């Protein structure tokens, strides 16, 4: 917590009284544990101080039973809600437009396009958490039990993507409640209230931890781990060069590269497949992994090209200084027939894709 700046310590408390029927069960329990009970329990919780008038994300953090949910609901009980899902429809179908759904899912690091077509009840806990958050994501949202049901990798990656989206869209007044302190440096809230100590902090000095990938040359045999998560195809050319990305001992990404299918480009290469496992999406690993592979071929005096229909990767390259748009960027390919195969290169004229050449840093 050394990167949080203490604003004040709040000794004020609120007393909550809960009354139940005192019956033979509670009487026996009280007798067994030598506990004085007559049907009433008084709980003290730390009082939430006055909040800033303007903020993007606030966080109420503390152990279970310390009053987080009560404080969250005290802000506006109508804004604490859990989305309902129709399991006869895909999760992407629950938004006003497909474009809104893609944008919201990207905002929470849910970038596995095949999974977006599934109903909610067929998704993993981590995927369900991201889908719920995508629908809750708007100014004034109050989100309880944040990251309570997911592993820490999902918690970190979602929090990082969540923060970026809030900043990009200037959302205001979002408050989360969580028992996990380890999300703070990934979420980077504007303020933090600790229900255990009563301390109120500013989070403006929090910085996202750095991510260092170890990249290894590997074989196509790693592909089965990743293929169902590729947005376009589960196939892989076994002649491609294959690479694996490892972060803190975890296998997180796979990439493959093929020779460029044109005799006019000397020492030309193209990106064939790049996939990041769902738990690690939202951290920017896919784009940086792709950049690192491209740099390997540039360092060998090669030229490196990539064509993608994935919005997150395409938009990143449009703004990047290390990628340059080709003449085919965002243009429908009218010069080829659908399903043409030329020199083992699959051609497609049904999608408008991003097309770039990696030029590296000047």
Q: pLDDT tens digits for 17-61?
A: 888 898 989 888 888 888 888 888 877 888 888 899 999 999 999
Percent of the chain with pLDDT over 90: 62
pTM, two decimals, is 0.81
Averaged confidence pLDDT in the chain? 88
Nearest to 58 by CA among 79, 44, 43: 79
Strands (E), 157-232: 174-178, 191-194, 199-202, 214-218
Q: Cβ(139)–Cβ(174) under 8 Å?
A: yes
Assigned fold of 214-358:
Aminopeptidase (3.40.630)
| Element spanning 13, H or E | strand 13-19
Assigned fold of 5-202:
Rossmann fold (3.40.50)
Residues of the chain with CATH 3.40.630.30: 214-358
Q: pLDDT tens digits for 161-206?
A: 999 999 999 999 999 999 999 999 999 999 999 999 899 998 877 8
- For residue 11, is pLDDT > 70? no
Q: Cβ(59)–Cβ(192) under 8 Å?
A: yes
Inter-helix orientation angle 152-169/98-107, to 10°:
120
Residues near 322 by beta carbon (within 8 Å), at least 6 away in sequence = 291, 294, 358, 359, 360, 361
Residues of the chain with CATH 3.40.50.300: 5-202
């Amino acid at each position: 917590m050394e990167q949080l700046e203490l604003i004040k310590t709040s000794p004020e408390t609120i007393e909550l009284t809960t009354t139940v029927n005192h019956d033979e069960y509670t009487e026996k329990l009280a007798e067994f544990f030598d506990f004085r009970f007559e049907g009433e329990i008084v709980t003290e919780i730390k009082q939430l101080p006055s909040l800033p008038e303007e903020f993007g994300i606030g966080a109420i953090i503390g152990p279970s039973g310390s009053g987080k949910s009560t404080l969250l609901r005290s802000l506006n009980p109508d804004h604490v809600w859990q989305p309902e899902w129709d399991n006869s429809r895909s999760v992407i179908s629950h938004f006003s437009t497909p474009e809104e759904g893609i944008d919201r899912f990207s905002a929470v690091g849910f970038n596995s396009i095949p999974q977006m077509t599934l109903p909610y009840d067929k998704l993993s806990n981590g995927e369900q958490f991201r889908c719920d958050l995508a629908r809750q994501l708007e100014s004034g949202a109050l989100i309880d039990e944040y990251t309570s049901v997911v592993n820490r990798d999902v918690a970190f990656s979602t929090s990082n993507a969540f923060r970026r989206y809030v900043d990009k869209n200037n959302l205001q007044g979002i408050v989360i409640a969580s028992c996990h302190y380890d999300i703070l440096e990934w979420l980077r809230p504007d303020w933090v209230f600790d229900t255990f100590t009563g301390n109120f902090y500013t989070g403006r000095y929090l910085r996202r931890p750095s991510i260092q990938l170890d990249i290894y040359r590997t074989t196509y045999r790693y592909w089965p781990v990743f293929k169902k998560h590729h947005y376009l195809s589960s196939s892989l050319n076994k002649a491609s060069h294959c690479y694996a990305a490892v972060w803190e001992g975890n296998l997180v990404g796979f990439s493959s590269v093929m020779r460029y299918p044109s005799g006019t480009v000397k020492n030309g290469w193209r990106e064939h497949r790049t996939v990041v496992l769902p738990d690690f999406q939202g951290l920017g690993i896919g784009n940086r992994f792709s950049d690192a592979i491209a740099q390997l071929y540039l360092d060998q005096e090669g030229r490196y090209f990539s064509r993608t229909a994935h919005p997150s990767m395409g938009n990143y390259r449009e703004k990047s200084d290390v990628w340059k748009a080709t003449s085919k960027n965002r243009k429908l390919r009218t010069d080829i027939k659908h399903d043409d195969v030329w020199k083992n290169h699959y051609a497609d004229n049904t999608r408008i894709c991003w097309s770039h050449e990696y030029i590296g840093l000047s």
